[in-house]
Amino acid sequence: MTWIIVGGSSGLGRALAERFAAAGCELVLLSRDVRDTTPLASHLAIKYAVKVSPVAIDLNCNPLPFAAIDSILEGHLPLKGLLIPAGVNDDSDVVGMGDTTLEYLTRVNYLAPCQLLNHYLPLLEQNSGVIVGFGSVATARGRSRNAAYAAAKSALESYFESLAHHAANSGISCQYYVLGYLDTNLAFAQDLLFPLASVDRIADVVYRRRFSSGRRFLPRPWYILYRAVQFLPWVIFKRLSF
């Protein structure tokens, strides 16, 4: 069967591609820059003897180029799963940001993922498929920083809850992972309060639990921190800068 991985050229997307290819799955890797995805696709195809196809797609594009993806899928085994680890933040993402930044962060982190899962939902229902979304602990409470990113990820989490409600009677599996800090290039040179999580370990968890449903925190201790932030009194929370 075939799995689409959105943002499959680096970070968690790359780790997921490696894990699923190692299990013999065919892959379609979506990425804005095929200069990264094409070498990865060739590497995985040779290493694991599976079919891996790269497709150039910019999630900020409206409308999304579904025809290009669909034409590639025609040469693959039936679609079994859609993994959406893609996401982006921006240093200028603060309350009062310009419209361009606001629209970009909203489209990439919320609208485009929802459009992708809506487009492939009928096919995945037909194949008793899997849809996996990824959120962030930044959604615990709104802050002056990462305002649009957190809002978009909160909206995505709500949409996935609606999807899970729909999926309960449609034969598909729906998972949503709320992620803590990941050990990727995005964390380089940042002063972080908590340890980084291995993307390889997270990819392994996602693969092992691919046919289950529900919302989970990874790494699991982040649930405690997430809830602690939510219950902080406003008089304390408003003074924090993190």
In SS3 terms, the chain reads as: CEEEEECCCCHHHHHHHHHHHHCCCEEEEEECCHHHHHHHHHHHHHHHCCCEEEEECCCCCCCCCHHHHHHHHCCCCCEEEEEECCCCCCCCCECCCCHHHHHHHHHHHHHHHHHHHHHHHHHHHHCCCEEEEEEEHHHCCCCCECHHHHHHHHHHHHHHHHHHHHHCCCCCEEEEEEECCECCHHHCCCCCCCCCECHHHHHHHHHHCCCCCEEEEECCCHHHHHHHHHHCCHHHHCCCCC
Which tokens sit at 107?
A: 């489209």
pLDDT band, very low/low/confident/very high, at 72 (cuts 50, 70, 90) = very high
Q: Tell which residue, 109, 122, 127, has the closest CA to residue 59.
A: 109
Does 242 fall in a domain?
no
Stretch 65-83: mean pLDDT? 96
- Is residue 158 situated within a structural domain? yes
Does residue 175 form part of some domain? yes
Domain-embedded: residue 71: yes
Is the pTM of the predicted complex or chain greater than 0.85?
A: yes
The predicted model gives 120-144 an average pLDDT of 92
Asked if the structure places residue 137 within a domain, the reply is yes
- Mean pLDDT for all residues in the chain: 89
Q: What is the pLDDT of residues 101-126, one digit of tens each?
A: 999 999 999 999 999 999 999 999 99
pLDDT digits (tens, 9 = 90+) for 2-24: 999 998 777 899 999 999 999 99
- Mean pLDDT, residues 191-199: 65
pLDDT band at residue 242 using 50, 70 and 90 as cut-offs: low
Q: How many domains does the chain have?
A: 1
Domain that includes residue 227, residue range: 2-237
Residue range 184-198: mean pLDDT, rounded? 53
Q: Which token pair is 97?
A: 């940001």
53 touches 70 (CB < 8 A): no
Residue 75 pLDDT: 94
Closest to 84 (Cα-Cα) out of 132, 25, 154: 132
- Distance of alpha carbon 37 from alpha carbon 144, whole angstroms: 34
Cβ neighbors of 1 (< 8 A, separation 6 or more) are 25, 26, 77, 78, 79, 80, 81, 127
176: in domain: yes
Residue 76 falls inside a structural domain: yes
CATH number at residue 68: 3.40.50.720
- Residue 204: band (very low, low, confident or very high) from pLDDT cuts 50, 70, 90: very high
- Between 30 and 138, the more confident residue is 30
- Predicted pLDDT at 187: 39
Instruction: Report the pLDDT value the prediction gives residue 186, as an integer from 0 to 100.
Output: 42
Query: Predicted confidence band at 184 (pLDDT cuts at 50, 70, 90)?
Result: low
62 domain-assigned = yes
